[in-house]
Copies of this chain bind each other. A is one copy, B any other.
Amino acid sequence: MKKTSLHSLMTLAAAVFMSVNSFAQVVEDFKPSSANQPGKEYPMVNSEGRVRVQISAPEAKFVQLDIGAVKYDLVKDENGVWTGESAPQDEGFHYYQLNIDGASVPDPASLYYYGASRWGSGIEIPAHDQDFYALKNVPHGQVREVYYFSATNNTMRHCFIYTPPGYETELSKRYPVLYLQHGGGENEYGWPSQGRTALIMDNLIADGKARPFIIVMDNGSWTMDRPGQQRPAQGETWPPRNWAEGFMNTLVNDIIPMVDKSFRTLPDGMHRAMAGLSMGGMQTKAITLAKPNVFSYIGIFSGGSITVEDVQNTPGFRENNKLVFVSFGSRELENRRPGFGGDPREETEKLKASGMNAHFYVSPDTAHEWQSWRRSLYQFAPLLFKD
């Protein structure tokens, strides 16, 4: 087949797809999203996972729903109210915005979340497995907002710390600690908010599936480790070693000592885990390889894997490590992103064959998005601190 023929065929296929998409029958069983502001009817979600938004903008020329990197045109009625919906989205949480005559703005009807380097709109597509992060009448831990001084950065910093049910009443008990990091363009609000960390843990603990432990959720973004530190320029090795290690000094020299001082921790490497998603997974890899005595349990969610060679090149790692957990959304593996080295499933299987306690998890029918990471935490937490 000549190149021009292939191109023609693809153009035709794209036209057919767009046509099908335009005339697709939309199932009219929309319900308000659970991430709506109190009392708001819109945005809504239907059983196909389509998102329908509505906004009054009587003088606007055009309004669009911007979700999943696609902009969908809304239609105006006689009262100046615009309505429209997206193609079906994956189960779980998604960031989105509205576009009103060229202005990208949050939907005034949704709750707001930090991602894509902004506070903006979010929506929940009900998931078949949403029970594991549902709010239930079980014993609940607490998420605490903590300010502390960082000598590394010579500034006050801010994090969230989950303490499990029982922490407030069993005052002689000490707990292991997981340090849990967000992705690029996100911040310390990601895991406690859209990550639903506390509800996932409360439910796991209530079901007897996980040991109670403390979770520290801090800000690992590029500019946070040293004032003025910038994201690496295009063309540099990515992730550069100094970028990944950047957060390491703050974590090891400031955050861990603060947590061990302010909370009833088991303050040794055998009772300390680190995990993260995407950028946070790459930081987890770099930092746990650089500090094999400081962390014994490792989780890398959509952020690469640890190879047999990594372990061989890191004295002390094999002896101290209790768990390497690697996970991805299934759509990421189908469409593998560059920059993570070899095939992560193969690398993790080789690691397991070499005698390490290595686990590989795939979140079904999800991509590089929060539902993959909620499920990863749900799979990872029961494997922690099994001493």
Which residues of A does B touch, CB under 8 Å?
Answer: 37-39, 55-63, 80, 97-98, 100-108, 111-112, 117-120, 135-137, 140, 142-149, 156, 168-169, 171, 187, 192, 198, 262-263
A55 CB to closest chain B CB (Å) equals 6
Give the docked Cα–Cα distance between A60 and B104 (Å).
Answer: 12
Say whether, besides A56-B103, A58-B101, A147 and B156 are in contact (CB < 8 Å): no
Number of copies: 2
On whether the beta carbons of A140 and B147 are closer than 8 Å, the reply is: yes
List of B residues within 8 angstroms of A142 by Cβ: 144-146
List of B residues within 8 angstroms of A56 by Cβ: 102-104
On whether the beta carbons of A149 and B169 are closer than 8 Å, the reply is: no
Q: Which of B60, B112, B117, B144 is close to A100, meaning CB atoms less than 8 Å apart?
A: B60
On whether the beta carbons of A140 and B146 are closer than 8 Å, the reply is: yes
A136 CB to closest chain B CB (Å) equals 8
What are 24 A-B pairs at a CB distance below 8 A? A37-B118, A55-B105, A57-B103, A58-B101, A59-B62, A59-B102, A60-B100, A63-B103, A97-B108, A98-B105, A100-B101, A100-B103, A105-B106, A105-B107, A105-B108, A106-B106, A111-B119, A135-B147, A137-B149, A140-B148, A142-B145, A142-B146, A143-B145, A169-B262
On whether the beta carbons of B156 and A135 are closer than 8 Å, the reply is: yes
Give the docked Cα–Cα distance between A149 and B38 (Å).
Answer: 19
List of B residues within 8 angstroms of A100 by Cβ: 57, 60, 100-101, 103, 105
Say whether, besides A103-B55, A135-B156, A168-B262, A144 and B147 are in contact (CB < 8 Å): no
A202 CB to closest chain B CB (Å) equals 8
Give the docked Cα–Cα distance between A198 and B111 (Å).
Answer: 24
A135 CB to closest chain B CB (Å) equals 5
List of B residues within 8 angstroms of A37 by Cβ: 118-119
Chain B residue with minimal CB distance to A37? B119
List of B residues within 8 angstroms of A137 by Cβ: 149, 156
List of B residues within 8 angstroms of A156 by Cβ: 135-137
Q: Which of B101, B140, B145, B169 is close to A59, meaning CB atoms less than 8 Å apart?
A: B101
Give the docked Cα–Cα distance between A149 and B101 (Å).
Answer: 45
A262 CB to closest chain B CB (Å) equals 5
List of B residues within 8 angstroms of A187 by Cβ: 38
Give the docked Cα–Cα distance between A107 and B192 (Å).
Answer: 24
List of B residues within 8 angstroms of A98 by Cβ: 105
On whether the beta carbons of B140 and A61 are closer than 8 Å, the reply is: no
List of B residues within 8 angstroms of A106 by Cβ: 105-106, 108, 112
**Closest 9 A-B residue pairs measured CB to CB?**
A57-B103, A59-B101, A58-B102, A60-B101, A142-B144, A140-B147, A59-B102, A105-B105, A143-B145
Give the docked Cα–Cα distance between A308 and B72 (Å).
Answer: 63
List of B residues within 8 angstroms of A107 by Cβ: 105
Additional 18 contacts, C-beta under 8 A, given A61-B101, A106-B112, A143-B144? A37-B119, A39-B117, A56-B104, A57-B102, A57-B103, A59-B62, A59-B102, A60-B101, A61-B61, A111-B119, A135-B156, A137-B156, A140-B146, A142-B145, A143-B145, A145-B145, A145-B192, A145-B198
A140 CB to closest chain B CB (Å) equals 4
List of B residues within 8 angstroms of A148 by Cβ: 140
